[in-house]
Amino acid sequence: MPVYRAPVEETLFILNEVLDLPAFRDLPGFADLDPDSLEAILREAARLFEDVWAPTNQVGDVEGCMRHPDGSVSTPAAFKAAYDAYREGGWLGISAPEEYGGQGLPGVLNSVVQEFASAANLSLAMYPGLTQGAIAALFVHGDEEQKRLYLPPMIEGRWSGTMNLTESHCGTDLGLIRTRATRNPDGSFALTGAKTFISAGEHDLCENVVHLVLARIDGAPPGVKGISLFLAPKFLPKADGSPGERNEISCGAIESKMGIHGSSTCAVNYDGATAWLVGEENRGLAAMFVMMNEARLAVGTQGLAISEVAYQNALAYVRERLQGRALTGPKNPQGPADPLIVHPDVRRTLMEIKAFNEAARALMLRGALAADIVRRSPDPAARQAADDALGLLTPVIKGAFTDSGFANAVAAQQMFGGHGYIEDWGMSQFVRDARIAMIYEGANGVQAMDLVGRKLARDGGRAIMAFFAEVGGYCEAHADEAGMAEFLTPLAAGLEDLRGATVWFMNNAMANPDNAGAGAVDYMHLFGRVALGYMWARMAKAALRRPDDPRMATKLVTGRFFMERMLPETAWRRSRVEIGADSTMALAEDAF
Amino acid sequence: MPVYRAPVEETLFILNEVLDLPAFRDLPGFADLDPDSLEAILREAARLFEDVWAPTNQVGDVEGCMRHPDGSVSTPAAFKAAYDAYREGGWLGISAPEEYGGQGLPGVLNSVVQEFASAANLSLAMYPGLTQGAIAALFVHGDEEQKRLYLPPMIEGRWSGTMNLTESHCGTDLGLIRTRATRNPDGSFALTGAKTFISAGEHDLCENVVHLVLARIDGAPPGVKGISLFLAPKFLPKADGSPGERNEISCGAIESKMGIHGSSTCAVNYDGATAWLVGEENRGLAAMFVMMNEARLAVGTQGLAISEVAYQNALAYVRERLQGRALTGPKNPQGPADPLIVHPDVRRTLMEIKAFNEAARALMLRGALAADIVRRSPDPAARQAADDALGLLTPVIKGAFTDSGFANAVAAQQMFGGHGYIEDWGMSQFVRDARIAMIYEGANGVQAMDLVGRKLARDGGRAIMAFFAEVGGYCEAHADEAGMAEFLTPLAAGLEDLRGATVWFMNNAMANPDNAGAGAVDYMHLFGRVALGYMWARMAKAALRRPDDPRMATKLVTGRFFMERMLPETAWRRSRVEIGADSTMALAEDAF
């Protein structure tokens, strides 16, 4: 059975030494995260996810979810106790507002916990993950009554949340939504329609399920401008807040999926279900975007999480499995063969995953810190700068991390040879589970278009200019420091590729927007490499402060590998962007 | 349910117009493959695989194989009739020797049939595929009695074959094999040992299963020099050739795998099983290599096959599914949205798969033709040249095609959005099935080392020099022909990258063999791109002869896309080769 060890030391290094969390102590909630408290919390989390969650992952995959004839859905038998341990530990609400029962700690801490949880058991992590997204949307857009009734049990983890967007004929294109909302005399609405692919739409882990549903109020304008957000609980809360009468909401089916078998993916039917408007009429998409942006970062984190756990298991295997001899002569001459780790191609694969994971963790936490600043900083300029950075990073973290996370899971599986293909060894599950992250919360091609088509141009390119200034400025500021040149020279070259590709879009996408579309995915990966390279430069700087620490020496070796072998991909990506759309679009549709 | 349409026209174009099959009519068996006969055979094959095999693919995945308490294994219920139709059509023996009941047609035709079969139902295709490999090994290394007894029922498809190499502690490293062969007084041997991962090791499609088994004769030298090849049938043939007494061979378990659920992957136990030596004592590996080389080409073909069928289904989906609007304005203004195919990133994905598939098919058939020349040409120089080319192409076709085939299946699945992740739609199966091809018959990292560590250096580099001369000569010979420059200029640049990377290995791998190991996979893909580019140049040349044919116009557009967007990857691959092994090997093993 696969094992998992939460990367506590890595995370502490990033938070304390790279992102310098102590410098943010004046923001609300941050004062509680001094290094000692932080370490204590992470070690506590590690125990939960390593010892309680991870052992439920493979059995959950095998058992899967089951829908019963009465429409109820049971999750794998091992899940309830693991979920309860998480709920009782208060993990769901660590970053939730204190006035509704949360602990108010920084969101960056919640991102750490999301990584550990997703690595230990991605399917199980989905349930509280959805709840957290729903909490965020309700906190920002709900009215006082809604918050008072719903937030406390959700923050406690007794009630869970969902996002109901997709219908069978529309996923990305939400303007096509058909679910109808009819006004009731008492100010509530009656929802009628069928939603599909609803994660955690029905399950047995919680007392109640709080659906956030996109629907169209009778008479609303067509397209995305006529969509509103509704709250529709499975059980209508009584005045005292306890679950009351059953709402007209039912699970019609659960999907048979490639992976995340323990996550119940439901077709949810609304048959005149009682619901309440959240936020303004016809502004539902804006309200849902609060949830979607949170979720996109969380899904990017899932890519990293699977990459990490797959790496750990592959590393253990290639250290143990004896097969063949090193090209440079036997390394285990007393044994029948050398361990697989002696082979350069195995080592290359390990290094590529390791170098991704460590920088991706830093970037993920940098994104989460930006989200904290947006929410908690008193300084409008700091909030705007953080919001700009977050807007750029969200599609990159979602798209690039999940593509790489899947590729890394496949590469880790490959190191197992034939055993990788056998379900018992658990590597297949990592690959199958990782695959969804490239698709949900906006397929990665959609993320790339969000980056290229919306985020680059917004506010006259303010966000991307600020990114260039930050990374370019970092390269200049530290150029003369001992040991930094080998990190900053390649980073500057990568940044130049990103700048060149950006300028190319500016010059060519206006005349032909297909030029943006054809290069968007390459650009997203190009951006991802540069952003990871920037994290490596900052990690190297931190590591150089303690050159005698063997962990820091390892860090520098890994960073050099990234700079030498992984960052230069930017040149290839840029060249593909600059080819443009002509050959891509040259073939007539009917000639395929 | 996914559908499949065998690429008959594409195949005819390649065989008749690109590889110029009619020019080989003097070789045995080739005279029967005039264009009309060839087309008739391919259309017949297409009917079988489209109508009879393809409908069994998804149900076979869901049902899987089942081992019963008595050790028997049943395949999915739909398989028997589909297999029988194939067997009765004589497809298994189309290229098998006529003296044992085969049709003696060129192996290139068998490769076409293998592609169709693997695309229609990879799991089912495994059974006759293994039999064909066993036929080849027995034909080359078996004695007259073995051939007389075993080949006719195998060629007829009544008996099937297996290859028994792997044991639980050794896959790649066959020197570690422990299965023992003890001499019996009558000249036969008693086999004792346990083999794992034996495809088609036990099943219900055939009357008998003929195992080819690697084992160590008592007293044999250690390592690969003490391994012999044995034939051990499930039922010992009676004198009249019919299956007689049950041998001491049993299936102890079948594996639960990520994919190819309809292929029974068995643990096979030999408990003093009666077996006969095939070929010479202690030369078993050489004998098995006949089978392994055939199998490697066939596995490469599987990569192409899944890429093709996944592409076909994605194409149908993106033409139908309405979602969003084209960046350049609505293309389906009367409908609620445009079809997905209008989006440049979807089009890019389609083009990348299509451009791979068409060239990969040409290269696969070129490899098969080389194998025919090796077996059938009376001219020793032609045989040697073909053998050299085949030696290089085998690891490239196996490794690069299966990596690309899997990546293409994933990309095709991605075009389905959420539906891609749902098993009903069938795309998940293509991904899960395609995954095995990167692993079995020598994991792709092993293929890369075969190419770089063995094939490049063999005979003083004769094969790679001949490849450079052939492709370089082609570029020069056709440089001035109208329309060819846009194909030959990029091809020459790609070839220069391959030459550069080859020279780099020559200069750097001797001093440090890890330099070969660290760059081997990149080199394999670099080689693959150049070889596919060469096929595109040859296809373009053929297409330019008929510029008014719309299919040829499409061909040229697709070829230009490959040259512009896919071939230039060679520069990036070369740069990674030339980085060498230092940063890859820098981290101490215990520092990971």
Q: What is the pLDDT of residues B276-304, one digit of tens each?
A: 999 999 999 988 887 888 899 999 999 99
| Spatial distance between the Cα atoms of A373 and A106, rounded to a whole number of angstroms | 9
Confidence band for A106, pLDDT divided at 50, 70 and 90: very high
| Spatial distance between the Cα atoms of A304 and A405, rounded to a whole number of angstroms | 6
Q: A180 - beta bridge partners?
A: A192, A216
Assess contact for A531 and A393: CB atoms under 8 A: yes
* Facing B323 at nearest CB: one of A173, A420, A428: A173
B248 to each of A137, A408, B66, B241, how far by Cα in Å? 66, 43, 21, 19
Residue B234 zone, left/alpha/beta (φ > 0; ψ -120 to 50; rest): alpha
> Hey, is the C-beta of A412 within 8 angstroms of any chain B C-beta?
no
Partners of B347 on chain A (C-beta within 8 Å) are 518, 584-585, 587
Q: B230 - beta bridge partners?
A: B213, B277
Alpha helices in B480-580 (DSSP H): 485-508, 514-544, 550-561, 569-579
What's the DSSP call for residue A51?
A: I
| Spatial distance between the Cα atoms of B69 and B254, rounded to a whole number of angstroms | 12
Helices B380-414 + B284-320 axis angle, to 10 = 40
Average pLDDT of chain A? 97
Nearest in space to A215 (alpha carbons), one of A281, A147, A168: A281
What's the DSSP call for residue A422?
A: B
Judged by CB atoms closer than 8 Å, whether chains meet at A583 and B576 is answered as no
Judged by CB atoms closer than 8 Å, whether chains meet at B172 and A259 is answered as no
Q: Is A486 a catalytic residue?
A: no
Assess contact for A141 and A287: CB atoms under 8 A: yes
pLDDT value of position A172: 84
Q: Least CA distance to A422: which residue of chain B? A: B257
Q: B270 - beta bridge partners?
A: B193, B249
pLDDT in tens, A135-190: 999 999 999 999 999 999 999 999 999 999 999 998 888 889 999 999 999 999 99
What is the pLDDT averaged over residues B493-497? 98
pLDDT in tens, A11-60: 999 999 999 999 999 999 999 899 999 999 999 999 999 999 999 999 99
CA-CA-CA-CA dihedral for A124, A125, A131, A132, to nearest 10: 170
Confidence band for B171, pLDDT divided at 50, 70 and 90: confident
Assess contact for B378 and B386: CB atoms under 8 A: no
pLDDT in tens, B296-328: 999 999 999 999 999 999 999 999 999 999 999
pLDDT of residue A367 exceeding 90, the answer is: yes
pLDDT of residue A377 exceeding 80, the answer is: yes
| Spatial distance between the Cα atoms of B460 and B130, rounded to a whole number of angstroms | 34
Question: Residue B379: exposed, middle, or buried by beta-carbon count in 10 A (0-12, 13-18, 19+)?
Answer: exposed
> Hey, is the C-beta of A316 within 8 angstroms of any chain B C-beta?
no
> Hey, is the C-beta of A521 within 8 angstroms of any chain B C-beta?
yes
> What count of other Cβ atoms lies within 10 Å of the Cβ of residue B77?
11
Q: DSSP for A376-420?
A: H-S-HHHHHHHHHHHHHHHHHHHHHHHHHHHHHHHHHHHTTGGGG
Cβ-count burial B33-70 (b if 16+ within 10 Å, e if not): beeeebbebbeebbebbbebbbbbbbebbebbbebeee
Partners of A553 on chain B (C-beta within 8 Å) are 591
Assess contact for B379 and B305: CB atoms under 8 A: no
| Spatial distance between the Cα atoms of A39 and A16, rounded to a whole number of angstroms | 10
Helix (H, G, I), strand (E, B) or coil at A245: strand
pLDDT of residue B83 exceeding 90, the answer is: yes
pLDDT value of position A170: 87
What's the DSSP call for residue B327?
A: T
Task: Please tell me the distance in Å from A375's CA to the nearest CA on chain B.
Answer: 32
Confidence band for A334, pLDDT divided at 50, 70 and 90: very high
Characterize the bridge pairing of strands A180-183 and A208-217. parallel
Q: Which one is predicted more confidently, A217 or B289?
A: A217
Task: Please tell me the distance in Å from B444's CA to the nearest CA on chain A.
Answer: 9
Assess contact for B14 and B362: CB atoms under 8 A: yes
What is the pLDDT averaged over residues B407-413? 98
pLDDT value of position A338: 95
Assess contact for B241 and B250: CB atoms under 8 A: no
Helices B550-561 + B344-376 axis angle, to 10 = 100
What is the pLDDT averaged over residues B159-172? 93
Task: Please tell me the distance in Å from B434's CA to the nearest CA on chain A.
Answer: 11
Assess contact for A182 and A154: CB atoms under 8 A: no
pLDDT value of position A290: 77
Partners of A584 on chain B (C-beta within 8 Å) are 344, 347-348, 351, 561, 565
What is the pLDDT averaged over residues A261-287? 96
pLDDT value of position A291: 81
pLDDT in tens, A385-439: 999 999 999 999 999 999 999 999 999 999 999 999 999 999 999 999 999 999 9
> What count of other Cβ atoms lies within 10 Å of the Cβ of residue A460?
8
A10, A197, A257, A587: best to mutate for the B interface, most B CBs within 10 A: A587
Assess contact for A229 and A221: CB atoms under 8 A: no
Judged by CB atoms closer than 8 Å, whether chains meet at A324 and B438 is answered as no
| Spatial distance between the Cα atoms of A188 and A151, rounded to a whole number of angstroms | 19
Partners of B422 on chain A (C-beta within 8 Å) are 255-258
pLDDT in tens, A107-144: 999 999 999 999 999 999 999 999 999 999 999 999 99
> Hey, is the C-beta of A560 within 8 angstroms of any chain B C-beta?
yes
pLDDT in tens, B239-255: 899 999 999 999 999 99
Q: One of A441, A470, A486, A564 is an active-site residue; which one?
A: A441
pLDDT value of position B290: 77
Q: Where are the domains of chain B?
A: 461-583
pLDDT in tens, B253-278: 999 999 999 999 999 999 999 999 99
| Spatial distance between the Cα atoms of B113 and B119, rounded to a whole number of angstroms | 10
Assess contact for B94 and B131: CB atoms under 8 A: no
Question: Residue A544: exposed, middle, or buried by beta-carbon count in 10 A (0-12, 13-18, 19+)?
Answer: middle
Tell me, what amino acid is at A283? R
What is the pLDDT averaged over residues B404-420? 98
pLDDT value of position A1: 86
Assess contact for A278 and A231: CB atoms under 8 A: yes
> Hey, is the C-beta of B440 within 8 angstroms of any chain A C-beta?
yes
> What count of other Cβ atoms lies within 10 Å of the Cβ of residue A533?
28
What is the pLDDT averaged over residues A504-530? 97
pLDDT of residue B61 exceeding 80, the answer is: yes
> In chain A, positions 332-371, which contact chain B (CB-CB < 8 Å)?
336-337, 341-348, 350-351, 354
Q: In this predicted complex, what is the ipTM?
A: 0.97
